[in-house]
Structure 1
């Protein structure tokens, strides 16, 4: 295992540190938008203050990736409708003349691209710590925490941690990723002291509950667990990546490092491709994940064991469910269990219902009826085609996604799937992901 002094490869710090010129240019842009926001906010008596937020305000942003949040603090006495109305009006006025749009979190806010930089103008209530009325209310306190509690050296450690997490694919709080947020990185460095010490913590991580690998209380609100939005898979991937890195630190971890790809397995993947209406990425990925979960359950109940599943999307109008089964074809017959013979009514109903399909009927050692019957589908691809033809709408999940699949979904595998992946980068990325090892699982 490496020591702290040699665990950061040459060039990593420079890779994570913005230039003086970039910092100056961003500061000028931020001040221009902030001043416009102050002027717009002054028109509304409900406004209490305008404060800067995001990684730029905290000094933890990465070169070319600054997120700039401007928080419009409003009176806690106004109702939710007025809160949203004022917040959006201020945002629209402050970003007049720039490409902009309405985005959604707990409440709507304005996102604009100003001189190549994404700026979010977000309303929040002007409250005391602990008296939260909206999710955004904590954000100004987060800024103050980082600015006052982290040293300049630790802010560089945060940048290193963010860049590392991006490189190994565990960074990003969006629903698609369910990974670590920028604030989670800041809290980890605050809690453990440095980038290397954070990784050392994770290589020896112990589960906090049977179904949870990590807990990370928010220092601003101890009742809020930042790790609740981070999936166990992401935490496990960070554990393995940290072990691999500390064993042999290289700059490649910061530039982008993945597990070994197994292209021979691509021929075994079955995909369902479909188009759907456009929506925000968080809404889309929530619907895709919910539907994939229901679909996987139906596949397993039909007798097909799944090795792995994945979702691919262009984040706009095209998506695909990718399935890597253990076997793609089952035996022609299957056994079904019925009720015990002492359950007279249920036993009679079971026999009557299955008499025509049953190829063999018998009683097991426990007195339970059992039958042997032909399967509805032997091939997984045939089962999926039946689902796509309309039955998918009955299985649960997102009605929007289910209707889209029933309308235009296609089951593809083998060469047609590989050809489609060559034409569509987002599908190729998903196909590569489902047949790649997790980083840190290979010996050496």
Structure 2
């Protein structure tokens, strides 16, 4: 039996998540104004097949002050990709004439405008039957219809509560920077499980569908599509812990913004690589930053420096910092390297030829595997990082653009110097706070 959770949440949570009538009226007027202009603009092109309203406002699941308005321009499936993009942008720019607007990018470019203080996206999609998708946006009109017809008004409030909760614990947002839960994922979770509390109970007792993935969430409109694919395991784990903490002691603070306990003394041990880079869209930038950080972390670990935690901080424009919390900052003067078995004659001979002259010690271990002890080039992690910066981060893999940016402007800073810089940069200060904070639900929060 479907449950409603309105009376089960802390006092004030319902009001926090419910838009005022005046806001709903103002948004409705804005939507109708832009939608009418979009219809007129679309009618000039014979390839168009109508206009559909989308986003959280159309579905009735938006949070106060945070409505997203999507207007989908349907085009004939016979239209090629170049024409599809061209018509979509022309309609979007015509419909938003007189308002601040620009071109944004997903799979295809679309128009984003600010109308009366509200962000409006005008997005092209193909007019196709379910399952015959040609672009990622083609599913969106079906998503709108699903949520409008399948969710009750009580469940729409549950969606709002869930969104607010996820925002409060820091796991909401489908952008690459966050890798969290999308608004549509919240709607599907409520649709599947019944209500807000039911969703939290599901996560509190979550069972992983596969060893490498903590969550799977099929799109009811396209069951082959996993909505959880873009959600990081770290964010799923954070939600599991937060759900358990909330169910033990539900308070309004979870909806207002709640984090784990911060350990400021650890900031003295953080090492940062600060650098500037060309501006790009946030999704492209964060994809490149994360890819480079992954390669850099692997390179550091292979050199013998075990890392406790890493993070990325960025102003989302032209400046970023890789943050590293090492387990140890200084190594012994030498390190061990494993070679092949002595029974692999050719490989063993080649290994010895390459390494025996520089090795401090060479021996065969109990399993018959060759082992050597070699002097390390750098003992301190900061010295190792400085050598990487001189030699070129791009050689390690990751983003060539970020590698070039680090080679040109990268600087290794640590401890108090890093904290002084963070006092002038809010985005860096937030990154430092995050890397030295417990996950919510792991301590007596």
Report the equivalent of 1:46: 47
Shift in Å, 1:141: 0.7
Report the equivalent of 2:233: 232
Shift in Å, 1:296: 0.6
Once the two structures are superposed, residues 288-314 of structure 1 have per-residue CA deviations (whole angstroms, 9 ceiling, x without a partner) of 010001001100100011100001111
Deviates more, 1:260-269 or 1:359-368: 359-368
Report the equivalent of 1:122: 123
Shift in Å, 1:247: 0.9
Aligned-partner Cα distance in 1 for 2:161–2:192: 16
After superposition, where does 1:196-207 map in structure 2 within 5 Å?
196-207=197-208
CA RMSD of superposed structures (Å):
1.3
Task: Identify if the C-alpha distance between structure 1 residues 395 and 18 changes in structure 2 by more than 3 Å, giving closer, same or farther.
Answer: same
In the alignment, is residue 56 of structure 1 matched against residue 25 of structure 2?
A: no
What are the ranges of 5 or more consecutive residues in structure 1 without an aligned counterpart? none
Report the equivalent of 2:183: 182
Deviates more, 1:364-373 or 1:228-237: 364-373
Aligned-partner Cα distance in 2 for 1:159–1:180: 13
TM-score, reference length from structure 2: 0.97
Deviates more, 1:249-258 or 1:332-341: 332-341
Shift in Å, 1:342: 3.8
Shift in Å, 1:5: 7.1
- Conservation of the 8 A alpha-carbon contact between 1:7 and 1:246: no
After superposition, where does 1:271-282 map in structure 2 within 5 Å?
271-282=272-283
Aligned-partner Cα distance in 1 for 2:395–2:401: 12
- Conservation of the 8 A alpha-carbon contact between 1:298 and 1:395: yes
Shift in Å, 1:221: 0.9
Report the equivalent of 2:352: 351
In the alignment, is residue 392 of structure 1 matched against residue 393 of structure 2?
A: yes
**Number of paired residues?**
442
Shift in Å, 1:359: 1.7
- Conservation of the 8 A alpha-carbon contact between 2:268 and 2:416: yes
Report the equivalent of 2:223: 222
Once the two structures are superposed, residues 336-395 of structure 1 have per-residue CA deviations (whole angstroms, 9 ceiling, x without a partner) of 222333444433333332243222222223333322221011001111111111331210
Aligned-partner Cα distance in 2 for 1:406–1:30: 47
After superposition, where does 1:285-434 map in structure 2 within 5 Å?
285-434=286-435
What are the ranges of 5 or more consecutive residues in structure 2 without an aligned counterpart? none
Deviates more, 1:75-84 or 1:384-393: 384-393
- Conservation of the 8 A alpha-carbon contact between 2:5 and 2:195: no
Aligned-partner Cα distance in 1 for 2:35–2:58: 12
Aligned-partner Cα distance in 1 for 2:216–2:141: 23
Which secondary structure does the structure 2 equivalent of 1:21 belong to? helix
Which secondary structure does the structure 1 equivalent of 2:125 belong to? strand
Which secondary structure does the structure 1 equivalent of 2:8 belong to? coil
TM-score, reference length from structure 1: 0.97
Q: Which runs of 4+ in 1 moved over 4 A?
A: 3-6
Aligned-partner Cα distance in 2 for 1:368–1:73: 64
Which secondary structure does the structure 2 equivalent of 1:208 belong to? coil
Aligned-partner Cα distance in 2 for 1:10–1:347: 71
Which secondary structure does the structure 2 equivalent of 1:389 belong to? helix
Shift in Å, 1:97: 1.1
